[in-house]
Structure 1
């Protein structure tokens, strides 16, 4: 959605995924795209890459839910980072408590929250708390800091830094960290410490939580004003034109996938409407192709339409190919198809010279 991946996931599936990742020690990076994430991803390629590399991207923000509905993206539930932390805390009948390391925050908030967690019979057991203070990513990645986190035996590393710094720190230390689940929870630490009150459920569900946040933290008005103006530009230049494009395409529009396999290269030709209604067979074929350890070329010369579902497919292909050290290339890109990439904010997937 608008250049970033989002997962159509609800809380039961999310909690099951987190539990399994903790049990099997699967490295799992969780990002929580909201309006601020979306805006920053448009101008900060490194920040965007941290979202693209994530294993789960939770839609945190009602404006993104509304945009998703307008673009036919099947996301119906807001999955906020603060709510995830609360649900993990509330889980009590699903086996052992998750061990959590609290990192970041202000003052001694992480220490106080850790003590509160351990003083109650919650689903989280604090096994470490550290506020590294203000510093560079490198300073906050000192060996003694990483060693302390790893020695804790934590299942979940909860990071309470600003979005850009948290994502950069997590990516910088990705290969060094041992806690399997890593996520940026931002202001959650302030809610848990009780220094800032969270908005009532009604304001959260109607998209006006930002008004409450400004009341609680007046300095945030500049960020919300800047993000709001950027979001309006995205609505005008990307969302509305894309809605018009989608309305012109029949859900039963023809579509075909042709695969040409060579010794070191597989070319997949997509012809017709690459839309959600036609995604099933294409996804199955592409999934089978990924296991062949060859470079991949997507030929779009005969593609007439691409919707959010297929841009999601492209992102999954890109992530898989990057992890395998293989290349993904788009060819046969007409001006019309390039415009679809541009409207959906995925033009960065295309080579600059086409």
Structure 2
């Protein structure tokens, strides 16, 4: 597991400081959309929560959900359990932010995974917060991502990274991954291996890792590495990002969108109608 493009981190000195009560993390309001709790929040509050979790050396992970995540979690028990185990799940997809607003919640916009990662890196470049990258298409793509992030955010400390193979890792490999991450001593581990793998990976690895926060951000690695173009802002604001991505990767995505999008609209329409009746 090569980390030649990353910082070389000496082992931490042992500490014998007496333990102190750990202050609670900031509360995150949540509301269900098709039974999946979503955080009613914004970028700054999420980043403040991450900073607070790092400060107290918490042991948490955060999920980032689009419509695909919501619908898959209704059929995949392991994914639903992994999402339920997260500290909270942010509404990454524009339709989820609209859904929360339609239910009467005060949310200005979605919390888009790639943008959350970029804003976190900008903060970390000033604060010195240490980041680890787990994911990417291959190791060369991961190195490309590392270089581009460091160029965009001078001073950003990316202390390690690993691009796993496209298969299930053995227990020995998982142990090696955990050892590599713990040796690098990151504050935040960004996980970009796609839904549902990243949610299940975070749930399975949470107790093996010392890093206070893990965040699953899906395609953000490809976007920030410049390997996949992002939809224009007008399409993102209009909830049409799925159409742009479908044009880019039709073979991979057409079944997902054809199956999940109509079912989400129908399912949420029932939830909205039930919510309206309950209010009346």
Given the alignment of the two structures, is residue 11 of structure 1 paired with residue 43 of structure 2, yes or no?
A: yes
User: Under a length normalisation based on structure 2, what TM-score does the superposition of the two structures give?
Assistant: 0.81
Output one character per residue of 1:304-335: Cα deviation in whole Å (capped at 9) or x when no partner: xxxxxxxxxxxxxxxxxxxxxxxxxxxxxxxx
Q: 1:128 to 1:61 in 2, by over 3 A?
A: same
The match for 1:231 is 264
Given the alignment of the two structures, is residue 100 of structure 1 paired with residue 145 of structure 2, yes or no?
A: no
CA distance in 2, matches of 1:228, 1:123: 41
CA distance in 2, matches of 1:57, 1:120: 27
CA distance in 2, matches of 1:170, 1:29: 7
The match for 2:111 is 79
Given the alignment of the two structures, is residue 180 of structure 1 paired with residue 194 of structure 2, yes or no?
A: no
Note the residue ranges of structure 2 that are not aligned, 5 or more in a row.
1-31
Q: Would the aligned equivalents of 1:89 and 1:122 in 2 still touch at CA under 8 Å?
A: no
The residue correspondences of 1:178-327 to structure 2 (distance < 5 A) are 178-219=210-251, 220-236=253-269, 238-248=270-280
- 3-state SS of paired residue (1:43): coil
The match for 1:61 is 93
CA distance in 2, matches of 1:140, 1:245: 54
Note the residue ranges of structure 1 that are not aligned, 5 or more in a row.
249-354
Output one character per residue of 1:218-241: Cα deviation in whole Å (capped at 9) or x when no partner: 2212211111122133134x3243
Shift of 1:19: 1.5
- 3-state SS of paired residue (1:6): strand
User: Under a length normalisation based on structure 1, what TM-score does the superposition of the two structures give?
Assistant: 0.65
Q: Would the aligned equivalents of 1:159 and 1:186 in 2 still touch at CA under 8 Å?
A: yes
The match for 1:30 is 62
The residue correspondences of 1:161-172 to structure 2 (distance < 5 A) are 161-172=193-204
Give 1:153's match in structure 2, choosing from 182, 185, 198: 185
Q: Would the aligned equivalents of 2:60 and 2:206 in 1 still touch at CA under 8 Å?
A: no
CA distance in 2, matches of 1:14, 1:119: 24
Greater relative CO, 1 or 2 (CA 8 Å, sep 6+)? 2
Q: Would the aligned equivalents of 2:178 and 2:208 in 1 still touch at CA under 8 Å?
A: yes
Q: Highest Rg: 1 or 2?
A: 1
CA distance in 2, matches of 1:103, 1:23: 22
Aligned residues: 246
